[in-house]
Amino acid sequence: MTMHMGRVFGRKHTGALKVRDFDFEVKAVGDDGTFSGYGSVWDVVDSYQEIVARGAFTDSLAEIAAKGRPVPILWQHRAGEPIGAWTNLKEDERGLWGDGELLIADVAQAREAHALAKRRIVTGLSIGYWVRESSYDEKTGIRTLTKLDLVEISLVTFPANDDARVEAVKFKLAHGELPTEREMEKALRELGFSKTRAAGVVAHGLTEMRRRESDCDPATTTVLKSLSDTLRGFTL
């Protein structure tokens, strides 16, 4: 399998940077751009058949605090569009909680995000993270993520594990990870492809790439980059 190597907080990671979505559970977004919410919750099986274990962020939060660097709020997981920062990140009985501040006085995209969040049009929080340690239960087919390195927490349009959206597919491809056939087909449909054409692209492209990936074919990396560059040209 082709792997993407990365380094966060001075630690090597094997595998692709991943995203995970949750409901944007806030009572209100303040006029000053402040809000609070859960970036992750414990013991919920998501569409990846994965669970975040209690305490999964403990080491990562300690390292972040030692660095004195805030965790960024990104817009739709776009690394080039930071719109604010998280403070007071902590683990409680439910999950990873934090206070966010959108830099509405200084960043144009933050002002747009603020307006959309106040109207409840943008209703999602999604984390970007590296898997440090995990375990797999062969009986249930569920993977438990026991140690994660937190990279960012984004505001996203769709909450609750809606990983079929175009931005999530773009993000996966850009970081060397293949989306599922269902995710890719839905993303292509959102971009205007007919059902038949989208299914055909997936059947003749993505399925073949999955076979190559399992065979450790280095050509997969080149094809992934090409797909990522192509999708990046589309906007929602």
- Residue-wise pLDDT tens digits, 52-66: 999 999 999 999 999
**Exposed, middle or buried by CB within 10 Å (0-12, 13-18, 19+), for 100?**
buried
- What is the distance in angstroms between the CA of the first residue and the CA of the last residue of the chain? 31
Give the pLDDT score at 195: 80
Select the more confidently predicted residue: 1 or 210: 210
Q: How large is the average pLDDT for residues 168-197?
A: 69
Cβ proximity of 36 and 100 under 8 Å: yes
Give the pLDDT score at 19: 76
Q: How large is the average pLDDT for residues 20-34?
A: 73
Give the pLDDT score at 156: 85
Of 32-36, 64-68, 95-99, 217-221, the poorest mean pLDDT is in 217-221
Select the more confidently predicted residue: 131 or 172: 131
Q: How large is the average pLDDT for residues 182-197?
A: 73
**Exposed, middle or buried by CB within 10 Å (0-12, 13-18, 19+), for 93?**
exposed
pLDDT above 70 (res 235): no
Percent of the chain with pLDDT over 90: 39
Give the number of other Cβ atoms within 10 Å of residue 115's Cβ. 13
pLDDT digits (tens, 9 = 90+) for 52-109: 999 999 999 999 999 998 999 999 888 899 999 999 999 999 999 999 999 999 999 9
Cβ proximity of 218 and 2 under 8 Å: yes
Cβ proximity of 17 and 6 under 8 Å: yes
Helix 166-174 to helix 219-232 angle (10° resolution) is 140
Q: What is the rounded CA–CA span in Å between residue 205 and residue 226?
A: 12
Residue 159: strand, helix, or coil: coil
Question: The pTM is what?
Answer: 0.64
Give the pLDDT score at 211: 60
Q: What is the largest CA-CA distance in the chain?
A: 53
pLDDT above 70 (res 198): yes
Cβ proximity of 145 and 52 under 8 Å: yes
Cβ proximity of 179 and 187 under 8 Å: yes
Give the pLDDT score at 17: 72
Q: What is the rounded CA–CA span in Å between residue 232 and residue 100?
A: 28
DSSP 8-state secondary structure symbol assigned to residue 141: T
Q: What is the rounded CA–CA span in Å between residue 43 and residue 59?
A: 19
Give the pLDDT score at 164: 36
Q: What is the rounded CA–CA span in Å between residue 39 and residue 11?
A: 22
Give the pLDDT score at 161: 47
Residue 35: strand, helix, or coil: strand
Q: How large is the average pLDDT for residues 172-180?
A: 65
Residue (of 224, 11, 10, 226) closest to 131 by Cα position: 11
pLDDT above 70 (res 130): yes
pLDDT above 80 (res 135): yes
